[in-house]
């Protein structure tokens, strides 16, 4: 299962097992969209009311290190989602709730080599909009 694979990735990177980390992974795996740190914090507080916001920040940074999460910016704050980094893809993102839909078109497919004066290291292609649930 997804969460166990992620937990194993963490172990491979030298991070210990904790219940809170497992719960955080479950939160991410149950949502098909990006979550802000505060949203994760609100959700995990339902199960662990004494958890520190700091712990959420820390664990998210460890998850990133272990390549368990992918991240982007939404309305000026960092948001995260369960990574499916096994295949290259882009997203349609609901700017209201963070819900995503994967798209497999990549604009880099039609760009060959490095442009003069630049060495390419990465790219970002995101489509923004409203999902049906958030449409007025």
Partner DNA sequence: ACATAAATAATAGCAATTACTATTTATTTA
Partner DNA sequence: TAAATAAATAGTAATTGCTATTATTTATGT
- Measured between alpha carbons, how far is 41 from 43 in angstroms, rounded to an integer? 5
> Counting contacts by CB under 8 A, is residue 117 touching its own copies?
yes
The answer to whether 98 touches 85, Cβ cutoff 8 Å, is no
Instruction: Identify what 20 binds: DNA, its own copies, none; CB under 5 to 8 Å per kind.
Output: DNA
> Counting contacts by CB under 8 A, is residue 32 touching its own copies?
no
> Counting contacts by CB under 8 A, is residue 57 touching its own copies?
no
> Counting contacts by CB under 8 A, is residue 114 touching its own copies?
yes
CA atoms within 13 A on the CB side of 7: 16
- Measured between alpha carbons, how far is 132 from 59 in angstroms, rounded to an integer? 32
Q: Could you tell me the smallest distance in angstroms from the CB atom of residue 77 to DNA?
A: 5
> Counting contacts by CB under 8 A, is residue 75 touching its own copies?
no
């Amino acid at each position: 299962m997804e969460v166990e694979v992620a937990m194993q990735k963490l172990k491979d990177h030298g991070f210990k097992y904790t219940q809170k980390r497992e719960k955080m992974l479950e939160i991410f795996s149950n949502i098909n969209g990006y979550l802000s740190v505060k949203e994760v914090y609100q959700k995990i507080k339902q199960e662990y009311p004494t958890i520190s916001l700091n712990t959420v920040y820390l664990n998210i940074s460890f998850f990133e290190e272990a390549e368990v999460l992918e991240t982007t910016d939404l309305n000026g704050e960092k948001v995260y989602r369960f990574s499916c980094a096994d295949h290259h893809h882009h997203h349609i993102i609901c700017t209201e709730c963070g819900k995503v839909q994967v798209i497999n078109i990549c604009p880099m497919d039609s760009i060959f080599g490095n442009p003069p004066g630049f060495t390419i290291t990465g790219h970002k292609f995101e489509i923004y909009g409203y999902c049906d649930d958030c449409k007025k």
